[in-house]
Amino acid sequence: MGNYFSFPDLLIWLPLVAGIICFLCRKEQSAKTISILASLLVLGVSIASLFHTDDKKYLHFNNANYIWLKYIGANYFIGIDGTGRLLTLLTAIGFPLVLMSASRTKYVSAPSFYGLLLLTQAGLMGVFCSLDALSFYFFWELALIPVYFLASRWGGEKRIQATFKFFVYTFTGSLLMLIGIIYVYLQTGSRTFEDGTVVAHSFSLSSFYNAALSSKEQFGLFWLFFIAFAVKMPVFPFHTWQPDAYDQSPTPVTMVLSGIMVKMGLFGAIRWLIPMFPAATLRFNEVVIILCLIGIVYASCLAMVQDNLKKLVAYSSIAHIGLMCAALFTLNPVGIQGTMIQLFHHGINIIGMWVVLNMIERQTGIKQISQLGGLAQKAPKLTILFVIVALANIALPLTNAFTGELLMFTGLFQYNHWYAAIAGIGIILSAVYTLNMIQKVFYGEWKPVSNFFPDLSITEKLVLVIIVALVFVFGVYPQPLIDLTKESVNQLLMRLK
Amino acid sequence: MNAIILTAIWGVIMMFCGVFVKSKKAPKFIAITGLLLVFAANAVELATKKSFFNIQVHDMLQMDSFNLAFLAVIFGCTLVFFLLSGADVENVGSHVAEYFALIFFVLCGVSLAATFNTLLILFIGIEIISIPLYILTGSDKRNLKSNEAALKYFLMGAFSTGIMLMGIAFLFGGNPTASFYLQHLQIGVGPMPVLIAFGLVFMLVALSFKVSAAPFHFWTPDVYDGAPTVFTSFMSTIVKAAGFFAFLRLFQNAFGNMHDQWQHLIIFITIATLLIGNVTAVFQQSVKRMLAYSSIAQAGFMLLAVFALNDRAKEGILLYAAAYSLATIGFFAILIKMEDYTIDGFNGLARQQPLLAFTATVFLLSLTGVPLTAGFQSKFFMLMAAVENGNNFWVVIVAVLFAAVSAYYYFRVIQAMYFKEPGNLPLTRETELTGSFKAMLLITAILIIFIGIYPEILVGWMYH
């Protein structure tokens, strides 16, 4: 297999082809089936890739390199390493869950809906696998376009403005990054192809790492890249697109956005930003951490006063991502390790939250906390599962997020006690608003809207049980994920030496 | 050489065809045949470096791979234009053959303007392009707007021609050998002689008029709006790209040595063009007028080639000509079929005509510069050229921010097509949407995506 198809190839092309087939489908049911089957197949490939690591004989399985644009030295170069494997696994697990929970809702022109979702998956996989700056940029944008169409076509009332704001923010960010890519590219060394052609510069990751950049150049370029990644995460003050976009998008798209797409920003920082500009990172990491801390406190305060369920989760997501970004930029091994595994756990937990919110919105048509109440009486199973996911989201011990947050806090604490204390406020507030929300929506005063609320259907039960299982498995035994990413953490730290 | 002679001959043939062929459909097919012939002849010359005609031109024309590759792009785009919008040319008026003849004469002018090596040929080329365009602009004779546009275009054009002649005179007198050849204008190091400086500024102004760069763009929206839409499509793409090509070649071959002395002028014009084009396009309600302003905005991006003036810039202008022309021609072809030219006229097009909406989206995404489309590659190469240039890095950042602004007005059309509800009336003139028209639209869209993935199909010709 290794000589014909590699794992990253399959991860990108399977959803792409399946997505195009979905577009050609006439019936809603067949598109649904194809998309779920394809996403399960991708999950299989992703799990298989976990068993083919680190050994030289598996090199061909994990990398694919073809000449793409010879005159400018760009390759179609994809491969998976520790971080990439973690995030492709998250994408592969996330999409079947998203698709299954979406399948209960009726969408107009559903085949395009499922097709676009699969195209998004292909774009995301590409981002996590690219080892060539130009392919990276291609996939980076390709993940954006289908999401834009998904959100604007099937979203809420104010969808057109909200999603266009999202598009403009990210598009501007990426264009600035493109300038950065070009600038670094022009400082790279020459490259020789197998057939003897020599071109002046190269887009490959390794030559980007070794580009001859003075520290002054690094200082400027750092911000060009950082803005692109910060918009995606989002980090304060680039976050203003996010609550509206989450609120107005159809929930399956919000799951993709908040569970997986935000990880693109952090991944970009881990794979590109920090290793490319070590000097600038060491110089500016404190600024980034302070921005993140402002974001954590600010978003947590806003989440406390939200009456809109979707916006509440959106703001809580800004706070969580802010913590991850801050821990990453502490640049100590514990903090980075914490961020790495939290990338995965946050994705799982937030998808779980959205699955439940999607159900509530579909059954009652309401997303205001003040109009809901007493759902637990009608839907006890749903309540139990949701409470577990929500507690995982605020990182209670024995749940998956606990290990990640513990490591991240240790990292922050080592860096600066006061910063850790400020971030701690965010965590306390997150417990306040999450528990408050659970209390009002599920246990609070009984409201007539919850009268016709059915308990879980079989698909939703399956989705939530899988998520809860992941929460507990990794809560009790987090070691596999740490092992998976340990090597990446070490490599990242080597670049900073 | 093949291209210059064959386009001229075929223009004459088309004129006679107007006298002897009575059928209204025939001229289109004769024109397409002629264009295929010209394209093939040019391709042969590009591949073998030998012309069918052996004429002594005393080095006044320069036929290298770059020029011929550009002509191939131009003829290819014109072919797409004929195939997509040929039927609409027939609807403009009764003198169908003459319209095609005029287009062939324009192409002859383009061939001259792309291969000139002396200022005289440049002047002749630009004039041969301009005069048929004045006629085409006014070809909708009973429409007052068309008449007004033609007159305006003619007056403005004549004025800028005068300025260009003045510039040529200065340049002729200013260089020590008193010659029209470009290479004799290259004055080595040191400050520019005053006469050359005057000549350069006059040429800059005149060419900025022709390519509608700010602040010399005021004729553009009125003329593009007033002219029959099918000719606007031709004027704003192929002719404009040719203008830029001449612009780039003149400044590279004649003034390249003095680049740092006139670069700030180009920066001013570039930024002004980007600013005025993009900001004004945002406020347009009519899609045709929006495209007129967006063509000014795109001109700003093409000016980056003159700003950068290196090998990448050559690749960039080649790609830009193809990407911009194909996307705009395709989108105009759809616009012509619409009942209502305002943005609201596109509301819900995706429900009524999914294929039209899909291809229009590809064209608009390409104009915005989203990856996987030719538009991205052209912008990417242009930006690479500008960054490689090494100084005035901020110009690149400004250009990129304006590219983000352009997303606003292009996406308004996409939003109207996909996310808004249609009324009860049909949005398009459905009888004119033949199967072959739709197939051609799809082919154009696929071509754009193909160039977007593999731009070396065009760039490679330059190094043939």
Residue in B372, B384, B407 nearest the CB of A182: B384
pLDDT at B268: 92
Write the CA distances from B315 to A71, B248, B379, integer angstroms.
Answer: 11, 12, 11
The tens digit of pLDDT for each residue in A7-36 reads 888 888 888 998 888 888 888 888 888 888
Least confident of A485-489, B229-233, B292-296: A485-489
Residue of A335, A367, A338 lying closest to A354 (CA atoms)? A367
Q: Encoding tokens for residue A422?
A: 């400020």
Residue A478 has what pLDDT? 85
- The answer to whether residue B459 neighbours chain A at the CB level (below 8 Å) is yes
End-to-end, the C-alpha distance of chain A in Å comes to 38
DSSP-assigned letter for residue A189? P
Nearest CA among A289, A180, A159, A189 for reference residue A225: A180
Task: Tell me the HSE value of B179 on the side-chain side, using a 13 A CA sphere.
Answer: 14
As a whole number of angstroms, the distance between CA B62 and CA B68 comes to: 10
Q: Assess contact for B374 and B319: CB atoms under 8 A.
A: yes
Task: Find which of B315, B349, B377, B384 to mutate to test the A interface (most A CBs within 10 Å of its CB).
Answer: B384
SS3 sequence of chain B: CHHHHHHHHHHHHHHHHHHHCCCCCHHHHHHHHHHHHHHHHHHHHHHHCCCCCCCCCCCCECCCHHHHHHHHHHHHHHHHHHHHHHHHHHHHCCCHHHHHHHHHHHHHHHHHHHHECEHHHHHHHHHHHHHHHHHHHCCCCCCHHHHHHHHHHHHHHHHHHHHHHHHHHHHHHHCCCCCCEHHHHCCCCCCCCHHHHHHHHHHHHHHHHHCCCCCCCCHHHHHHHHCCHHHHHHHHHHHHHHHHHHHHHHHHHHHHHHHHHHHHHHHHHHHHHHHHHHHHHHCCCEHHHHHHHHHHHHHHHHHHHHHHCCHHHHHHHHHHHHHHHHHHHHHHHHHHCECCCEHHHHCCHHHHCHHHHHHHHHHHHHHHCCCCCHHHHHHHHHHHHHHHCCCCHHHHHHHHHHHHHHHHHHHHHHHHHHHCCCCCCCCECHHHCCHHHHHHHHHHHHHHHHHHHCCHHHHHHHCC
Residue A423, SS3 per DSSP: helix
Residue among A137, A149, A179 minimizing CB distance to B371: A137
Q: Round to whole Å and give the CA distance between B281 and B295.
A: 9
Which two three-digit tokens encode residue A186? 């022009």
d(CA A241, CA A251): 16
Asked if residue B72 lies in contact with residue B37, where contact means CB atoms within 8 angstroms, the answer is no
Contact B129, B151 (CB under 8 A): no
Q: Which residue in A182, A217, A223 has the most chain B C-beta atoms within 10 A of its own C-beta, making it the best mutation to test that interface?
A: A182
Bond prior to A333 in cis (omega within 30° of 0)? no
State the Cα–Cα distance between residues B408 and A164, nearest whole angstrom. Answer: 8
DSSP letter assigned to residue A367: -
**Which one, of A85, A127, A83, A129, lies nearest residue A337 by Cα?**
A83
Q: A243 preceded by cis ω (within 30°)?
A: no
The tens digit of pLDDT for each residue in A402-455 reads: 888 889 989 999 888 898 888 888 888 888 888 888 888 888 777 776 666 676
Q: If you measure CA to CA, which chain A residue comes closest to B419?
A: A153
> Does the CA dihedral A400-A402-A407-A411 come out positive or negative?
positive
pLDDT surpasses 60 at A1 = no
Q: Contact B383/A178, CB-based, under 8 Å? A: yes
A305: pLDDT strictly greater than 90: no
Calpha distance B58→B4 (Å, rounded): 16
Query: What pLDDT does B7 receive?
Result: 93
In the block, tokens 């696998």 appear at A129
Interface contact B380-A167, CB threshold 8 A? no
Which two three-digit tokens encode residue B119?
A: 């200022």
Residue numbers of the domain that contains B184:
2-462
Q: Where is pLDDT greater, at A294 or A29?
A: A294
Q: Does B419 touch chain A (CB under 8 A)?
A: yes
Q: Does A182 contact B463 at a Cβ distance shorter than 8 Å?
A: no
Interface test with A, best of B411, B412, B462 (most A CBs within 10 A): B411
Q: Is the pLDDT of residue B414 over 70?
A: yes
Tell me which of A258 and A103 has the higher pLDDT.
A258
Cβ contacts of B23 within 8 Å, gap of 6 or more? none
CA distance B257 to B251: 9
Check CB contact under 8 Å for A175 and B400: yes
pLDDT at A374: 76
Question: What was the pLDDT predicted at B327?
Answer: 94
Question: What is the pairing mode between strands A74-79 and A198-199?
Answer: unpaired
Q: What are phi and psi of A180, to 5 degrees?
A: -60, -45
Phi-psi region of B369 (alpha: psi -120 to 50; beta: other; left: phi over 0): left
Beta strands in A31-103 (DSSP E): 63-69, 74-79
How many A-B residue pairs are in contact by the CB < 8 A criterion? Answer: 66
Contact B404 A172 (CB under 8 A): yes
Question: Residue B246: which of B205, B295, B210, B282 has the closest Cα?
Answer: B210
Question: What Cα–Cα distance (Å) separates residue A467 from each residue in A3, A104, A347, A472?
Answer: 35, 18, 10, 9
Q: Which residues pair with B342 in a beta bridge?
A: B286
Q: Which residues of A touch B455 (CB under 8 A)?
A: 69
Q: Average model confidence (pLDDT) for chain B? A: 89
Please identify which residue in the block is written with the tokens 């513990």. A406
Backbone angles phi, psi at B29, to 5 degrees: -70, -35
**Phi and psi at residue B286, to the nearest 5°:** -85, 130
- SS3 category, A175: helix
Question: Which residue does chain B place closest to A76, by CA atoms?
Answer: B453
Residue of chain A with shortest Cα separation from B454: A69
Q: Residue A377 burial (CB < 10 Å; 0-12/13-18/19+)? A: middle
Q: Per-residue pLDDT tens for A315-336?
A: 888 888 999 999 999 888 889 9
Query: Looking at residues A150-175, what average pLDDT do you find?
Result: 86
pLDDT digits (tens, 9 = 90+) for B133-177: 999 999 888 889 899 999 999 999 999 999 999 999 998 888 888
Q: Which of A68, A71, A175 sits opposite B403 (nearest CB)?
A: A175
Residues near A158 by beta carbon (within 8 Å), at least 6 away in sequence: A244, A248
CA distance A31 to A122: 17
Query: Which pLDDT value is given to residue A400?
Result: 86
Chain A's closest residue to B400, CA to CA, is A175
Phi and psi torsions of B62, nearest 5° = -125, 115
**Residue pair A162/A155 in contact by the 8 Å Cβ criterion:** yes
Domain count, chain B: 1
Q: B397 CB near a chain A CB, below 8 Å?
A: yes
Which residues of chain B make contact with A172, given a CB cutoff of 8 A?
401, 404
The 10s digit of each residue's pLDDT in B391-405 is: 888 899 999 999 989
Confidence at B128, pLDDT banded by 50, 70, 90: very high
Q: How many CB atoms lie within 10 A of CB A448?
A: 9
Task: Give the pLDDT of residue A163.
Answer: 86
Tokens of B353: 């005509």
- Helix B26-48 with B2-20: angle, nearest 10 deg: 170
Given a contact cutoff of 8 angstroms between Cβ atoms, the answer to whether B89 and B332 are in contact is: no
- Summarised one tens digit per residue, pLDDT across range B11-34 is 999 999 888 888 888 888 999 999
CA B368 → CA A215, A229, A466, B181, B412, distances in Å?
34, 21, 42, 39, 12
Whole-model pTM? 0.93
Are the beta carbons of B372 and A138 separated by less than 8 Å?
yes
CB-nearest to A152 from B371, B380, B415 is B415
CA distance A424 to A297: 9
For residue B68, count CB atoms less than 10 angstroms from its CB and return exposed for 0-12, middle for 13-18, buried for 19 or more: buried
Average pLDDT over residues B430-457: 88
**DSSP type of residue A448:** G
Q: Is A127 exposed, middle or buried (0-12, 13-18, 19+ CB in 10 A)?
A: buried
What interface predicted TM-score (ipTM) does this complex get? 0.90
Q: Where are the domains of chain A?
A: 283-497
By CB atoms closer than 10 A (0-12, 13-18, 19+), residue A209 is middle
Phi, psi of A74 (to 5 degrees): -105, 135
Q: What is the pLDDT of residues B189-210, one digit of tens each?
A: 677 888 888 999 999 999 999 8
Kindly report the number of other CB atoms within 10 A of residue A219's CB atom: 15
Q: Would you call B456 and A70 a contact, using CB atoms and an 8 Å cutoff? A: yes
Q: What is the pLDDT of residue B6?
A: 92
Cβ distance B400 to A179 less than 8 Å, yes or no, reads: yes
Give residue B349's Cα distance to chain centre: 28
Do A69 and B456 make contact, defined as CB atoms within 8 angstroms?
A: yes
Distance of CA A465 to the CA centre of its chain: 21
